[in-house]
Structure 1
Amino acid sequence: MNIQSIHQDNSEETLYDTFSVYLNQPLNAIYIDLDTEDTNVSYIVYDKKGQIIKEKYNLSKRNKLSLNPFPSGLYTIVINDRRNKVIKKVLKF
C-alpha cells in the first residue's frame, strides 16, 4: 500500500512554519512534527464522505498517524492550533 500527498492548503503561514507534515510510504504513516510541544495543536482525519475517522488533541513534538487501519481512499487531515489551520489531502493506495 502506498500513500501520497495530493493537496495542501495553507490558510496561514504562521502555523505551517511551526510544524512539518510528511509521509513515510514504507511504514504507511504520516508524521506531524512540531517545533515545540503545544497543547493547542490538534489534528482531525476525515474520510471521503467527510466523517471523522481519527482525531488527536494536545500533540507532542513528534506524532505518528498510521494509515494501516484505514481502507484505500482519499483522506483529509486538518491540523489546527485554534487560530490557524492547515489542510492536507492524502491518497492511500
Structure 2
Amino acid sequence: MVFGVLTSLSVVAIAAPSTTPEVSALVQLSSMDQLTPKVNLNAADAETLRRDLFGIGATKVKAIIAYSESNGSFTAVDESLEVKRIGKSLLEKNRDRLEVK
C-alpha cells in the first residue's frame, strides 16, 4: 500500500506543470521582438539601416540608397531583392523588421 501511495505521488509531481524561469524569459524575448520598430526603407537613413537590420553593413547600405535614388521609392519590401548584394536569405532575416510607407 505504501508503494502505491508513493507511486501516485511521483506521477502527480511529474505531471504537474511548472513555470520555469526559462519559459518566462522566452515569453519576454518574444514580446520584445514585437516592440522593435520597423525600418521604413523609404525613410530610414544610412545609420538606421546599418544599426537596425541584420547583415547590413556600409556597402549594402550604400547599395540600398543608390537603388532608391535611381529608381525612386520602394513600393514593396520584396523590391529590395532588386538591390545589388541583397538576396533572399538576407531579406528573410530582416522581413519582420522592414516596411514600406
Structure 1 length as normaliser, TM-score? Answer: 0.25
Q: Which has the higher helix share?
A: 2
Q: Which has the higher contact order (CA 8 A, sep 6+)?
A: 1
Q: Which has the higher strand share?
A: 1
Structure 2 length as normaliser, TM-score? Answer: 0.24
Larger Rg: 2
